Amino acid sequence: MTLRRLEILQWMGLLLGALAFTGAHVVGYGITEAQCNAAGLRWGISNDTWEVIALGVSAGFVLLSELAAALVVARTREVSYEDPPPPGRVRFLAIAAVAANLIFLTIIVLDALGALLNVACRQG
């Protein structure tokens, strides 16, 4: 695999997980607001159903991101992250992406569990 393709995969591995988490969190917040709003009653929005869908989609993107980062780490195993750029930088950022994606996946699961197990709408 060429260095250019590895760089593309490395950036995908680094950024896709963060974007998936951000999207899931924003969509989850919007779903909760829509369900608790008067208009949400007419639309029949189910917080739990949409949270599970958001969890599945975002977790899928994070796993894809993790796979891309792990592939770059595997393909650059003969390079040290301390080597000069671009190969050293690619390996360094891919290693960081592997760790970050595990954190993002954990946050996404905890965010969804919090939304599913908590009472969404409280009048008071």
- pLDDT tens digits in sequence order for the chain, 124 residues long: 788 999 999 999 999 999 999 999 999 888 888 888 877 677 777 888 889 999 999 999 999 999 999 999 999 989 877 677 888 999 999 999 999 999 999 999 999 999 889 887 776 5
Q: Is residue 61 in a domain?
A: yes
Q: Is residue 73 in a domain?
A: yes
Q: Is residue 122 in a domain?
A: no
In whole angstroms, what is the distance from residue 11 CA to residue 68 CA?
A: 9
Q: What is the structure's pLDDT at 2?
A: 87
Q: Is residue 33 in a domain?
A: yes
Q: What is the structure's pLDDT at 40?
A: 67
* 17 touches 105 (CB < 8 A): yes
Q: Is residue 88 in a domain?
A: yes
Counting the structural domains of the chain, the total is 1
Q: What is the structure's pLDDT at 31?
A: 86
* 96 touches 18 (CB < 8 A): no
Q: What is the structure's pLDDT at 102?
A: 97
Burial, 100: exposed, middle or buried (Cβ in 10 Å; 0-12, 13-18, 19+)?
Answer: buried
Q: Is residue 75 in a domain?
A: yes
Host domain of residue 72: 3-117
Is the full-model pTM beyond 0.85?
A: yes
Q: Is residue 76 in a domain?
A: yes
Q: What is the structure's pLDDT at 57?
A: 96
Q: What is the structure's pLDDT at 123?
A: 62
Q: Is residue 123 in a domain?
A: no
